[in-house]
Structure 1
Amino acid sequence: MRNISDIIEGYLKSIIEEESRGQIEIKRSEIAEKFHCVPSQINYVINTRFTQDRGYLVESKRGGGGYIRILRVRAHTKAELIEHIIQSLEAGASESATEDIVFRLLDEEVITKREAKIILAALARTTLAIPLPARDDLRARILCAMLLTLKYEKSEK
Structure 2
Amino acid sequence: MARLSDIIEEFIKDMFEENNKGELQIQRNELANYFSCAPSQINYVLTTRFTTEKGYYIESKRGGGGYITIKRVEFNENTSLAEVINEKIGEWITYDKAIKIIEGLLEARIINNREAALMKVAINDRNLGSEFGIRNKIRANILKAMIMVVLSLNV
Q: Same fold (TM over 0.5)?
A: yes
**TM-score normalised to the size of structure 1?**
0.83
TM-aligned CA deviation for residue 84 of structure 1: 4.0
| Large movers: runs of 4+ above 6 Å | none
Distance of aligned partners of 1:126 and 1:38 in 2 relative to their CA distance in 1, 3 Å threshold: farther
Whichever structure has more helix as a proportion of its residues is 2
| Equivalent residue number for residue 131 of structure 1 | 132
AA at the equivalent of 1:148:
M
Aligned residue pair count: 153
> Which structure 2 residue ranges, 5 or more long, are not aligned?
none
The alignment status of 1:83 with 2:82, answered yes or no, reads yes
| Equivalent residue number for residue 37 of structure 1 | 37
| Equivalent residue number for residue 13 of structure 2 | 13
RMSD: 2.3
Contact persistence 1:27–1:68 (CA under 8 A): yes
> Which structure 1 residue ranges, 5 or more long, are not aligned?
none
Write the mapping of 1:103-118 to structure 2, written as runs, cut at 5 A: 103-118=103-118
**TM-score normalised to the size of structure 2?**
0.83
| Equivalent residue number for residue 145 of structure 2 | 145
Contact persistence 2:110–2:151 (CA under 8 A): no
| Equivalent residue number for residue 3 of structure 1 | 3
Distance of aligned partners of 1:73 and 1:138 in 2 relative to their CA distance in 1, 3 Å threshold: same
| Equivalent residue number for residue 94 of structure 1 | 94
AA at the equivalent of 1:106:
L
Contact persistence 2:28–2:42 (CA under 8 A): yes
| Equivalent residue number for residue 71 of structure 2 | 71
Note the alpha carbon deviations across 1:98-132, whole angstroms, 9 max, x for none: 12211222123222112212211222345445424
